[in-house]
Amino acid sequence: MENNSDSQKLIDANNELDKVSKMLVRRDRELSLVKEQALQVDELKSEFVSTVAHQLRTPLAGNKWILSMLSHGEVGPVNEEQKAFLVKVYNSNERMVTLVSELLDIDRVTTNRIKYTFVEADIFTLINKALAELSPSVEMKGIRIFVEGRDSGIPKVFIDADKIAAVLQNLIDNATKYTLGSGDVIIKVEKNDGHVKLSVKDNGIGIPKNVQNKIFTLFYRAPNATQVEIDGSGAGLYLSKKILNKHGTDIWFESEEGKGSTFYVTLPTKPFKGVA
Ligand code: ADP
């Protein structure tokens, strides 16, 4: 008797197990289907963004060329007032160009379609390149830029040079753009535990404490930056963080509102093998 009821229990438990495992298989199939659909939607979105962005690029490049010719008087004389308007339109066009290329970068980063090529590079060569591309307004504002650490035996870094150049450009641009009047920007390079640590320090508007945790969020801009109407899209630091994480390193900052900010990045001195 005892034996019979035990075996019945076993049979029931087995049946139950069978039901549960069938249900799990069904759920698994449903989940795969949903995942596949999500991937398809993602691909469509990505295709849309990239088509729109590429189509916007061509007319913007054309505008840039025409506006430059017009403002330089190459099509006919322009007076100072007309020139000032043309320069304004030129600058807006430039902002659109930047936005469109940021849009493409964001899409490539979020869909993991950016290819990384790691090479041995000299960090000071990259800094010099970034400095050569600074906007003329930096000098006009009276901002001085110092580079420290050149003679301290800094090792070579293993990086994707174009992408790290974009990160440096962004940090230096921010340091100069968020300094309202004149000021000093200090770029410092140090050796740091198997890494090279680079910092960009400014004495600009700083970042309020209560929003510091949002600074690397895509499209986030601090209220003190938007209040003074400094141009920006809030994409640069988001992209920078993604790029550094792909190098197995990071970016962070210290800042005090009204006093200034220091952004830090670390760069690997050996090829990064991990999957970030
Ligand atoms: P953008 O400068 O185009 O707005 P970023 O992603 O580079 O975008 O920066 C995000 C936000 O972080 C900025 O809008 C600004 O509020 C703040 N920020 C970045 N760098 C600085 C800096 N050096 N000084 C003060 N605020 C900064």
Burial of 235 (0-12, 13-18, 19+ CB in 10 A): buried
Greater confidence (30 vs 199) lies with 199
Structural domains of the chain ordered from first start: 2-110 (1.10.287), 119-268 (3.30.565.10)
Return the ligand 1 atom nearest residue 238 CA: 6
The residue to mutate among 215, 229, 261, 265, having the most atoms of ligand 1 within 8 angstroms of its beta carbon, is 215
Q: Which helix (H) or strand (E) holds 238?
A: helix 236-246
According to DSSP, residue 178 is labeled T
pLDDT band at 209 (very low <50, low <70, confident <90, very high): very high
> How much is the pLDDT for 274?
66
According to DSSP, residue 213 is labeled G
Q: How far is CA 245 from the centre of its chain?
A: 11
Q: Is 233 in the pocket of ligand 1 (CB under 6 A)?
A: yes
Cα(174) to centroid(ligand 1), Å: 6
The residue to mutate among 135, 171, 174, 253, having the most atoms of ligand 1 within 8 angstroms of its beta carbon, is 174
pLDDT band at 160 (very low <50, low <70, confident <90, very high): very high
pLDDT band at 106 (very low <50, low <70, confident <90, very high): confident
Q: Is 202 in the pocket of ligand 1 (CB under 6 A)?
A: yes
Mean pLDDT of 36-53: 84
Q: Is 235 in the pocket of ligand 1 (CB under 6 A)?
A: yes
Tokens of 240: 């920078």
Q: In the block, which residue shows the tokens 């974009």?
A: 166
Left, alpha or beta for 261 (phi > 0: left; psi -120 to 50: alpha)?
beta
pLDDT band at 158 (very low <50, low <70, confident <90, very high): very high
Q: How far is CA 203 from the centre of its chain?
A: 22
